[in-house]
Structure 1
Amino acid sequence: MSTKEDDLIARAELLQQAIATLLLMIQQIKAAGEIAPPGCSVSRYQARGKQGVYWYYKLHASQPIFPTSQPGKLTKYKHLGKAGSPAHIDAVLSVARRTQVDYLQSCIDSLRQNWADLYNSLKEKK
């Protein structure tokens, strides 16, 4: 084997190791707690009551995915309550985990494409 082929193989192995590391990071994030569905964010909204204005929070999805009180009907919103409530904190953390997983997955996708490019360049040289 030539030095160039050895270099390509070494770089491909480094890419595979990086992919394995990122996959492990995703597993650790998933083990840390619930991950929000794709396209979700936490939103703040204002409600008026007898004693003034209140701020509440909701988990907002890009598509209707949350069950409602009506069977078979879904909504884009899940009420979380006041700031600092367990549901609010859990939702913020689950969205943060979703963001981390999505970013790591995009890095993995990029590295897999890089690996394919290396593999194709090795095939072309033969």
Structure 2
Amino acid sequence: MPKKKCGLGFDCASMMQCPGIDPGNCLNYKTCGSAVQLNPEEELELIRIQEEREREYTEQLRRTQERIRLTRHSAAILMLMRRGCPQSLESLGVTPSIETIATQLDTIRTLTTNFDGQYIAPPGCELHVYNVKRPSGTYSYYKLTAERAVFAPSEREQQVRVIHVSHEDDARCIEAQLGIERRNNLTQVRTLLNNATALLEEVTRILELTATINSPTATLEVIDTEEILPID
């Protein structure tokens, strides 16, 4: 004789709270078998057994028999949620990844405060060395040069392209060089953040697409409940 199976794919032992029960002995066997003729939104009534502790810190269980009403679609979702090893954002590592990104963003925001009050050179600005001949010898000096006149003048009214920062050991030259390094590093940070933004936009697109194919949350209505008294 062919082995009997639940027409809706439920775990009858779990549904009836009866380990090892044969599907043919399940109170829902006939209903589940005829449910294949229903469309996804047509309703059916099933029976399930529930167990719960009567009081906290006690081993005694209270068993009840519930009659529930739900659509075939909801039954399909509930079956898979019971038997299909359902995963979550947590188990798939999505939530931890989001939390990691949030933590990293907080760290980035904190680290950016280290640039407050620091000189950051403008784009395209570089240090150039030039030599000056004097009776005592030839000396090297540096100037901070921009692609166009963006620097505030020291004497004239118009902006200038060059700031003379003296020799390489002068504090002005040292800070100018550090300002260029800060700019270069921040430019690299901007590129990386733009790449990260593009990836996060793709994440958003995928999540929005997934949301459009999500099924409605499975719902059921408990019609009546009857306590199952233990047999002494």
TM-score by length of 2: 0.46
- What are the equivalent positions in structure 2 for 1:27-106 lying under 5 Å apart? 27-28=113-114, 30-31=115-116, 33-68=118-153, 69-71=155-157, 73-106=158-191
Aligned ranges 1:3-42 → 2 under 5 Å:
3=87, 7-28=93-114, 30-31=115-116, 33-42=118-127
Q: Which runs of 5+ in 1 are unaligned?
A: none
Query: Would you tell me which structure has more helix in proportion to its own residues?
Result: 1
Describe the SS at the equivalent of 2:116.
helix
CA distance in 2, matches of 1:67, 1:31: 20
**CA distance 1:3–1:40, shift in 2 (3 Å):** farther
4+ runs deviating over 6 angstroms: none
Rate the CA distance shift 1:85–1:93 in 2: closer, same or farther, 3 A.
same
Helix, strand or coil at the partner of 1:36? coil
Q: What letter matches 2:173 in structure 1?
A: H
- Structure 2: distance between partners of 1:113 and 1:13: 19
C-alpha change, 1:48 and 1:4, in structure 2 (3 Å) is farther
The answer on 1:109 being equivalent to 2:194 is yes
Kindly state the Cα deviation for residue 88 of structure 1 after the two structures are TM-superposed: 0.8
d(CA) in 2 for partners of 1:76, 1:15: 41
Structure 1 window deviating more from structure 2 (15-24 vs 110-119): it is 15-24
Deviations 1:73-101 (A, max 9, x none): 22221100011011111111122222222
Tell me, yes or no, if the aligned pair for 1:26 and 1:101 is still in contact at 8 Å: no
**Max Rg structure:** 2
Give the alignment's Cα RMSD to 1 decimal. Answer: 2.3
Q: Secondary structure at the match of 1:66?
A: coil
Unaligned runs of 5+ residues in structure 2 are 1-85, 212-232
The CA distance in 2 between the partners of 1:118 and 1:48, in whole Å, is 61
Aligned amino acid, residue 108 of structure 2: L
Q: Distance in 2 between matches of 1:102 and 1:43?
A: 21
Q: How many residues align?
A: 123
What fraction of aligned residue pairs are identical, expressed as a percent? 20
Higher relative contact order (CA 8 A, sep 6+): 1
Q: TM-score, with normalisation over the residues of structure 1?
A: 0.78
Native 8 Å contact 1:56 1:81 kept in 2: yes
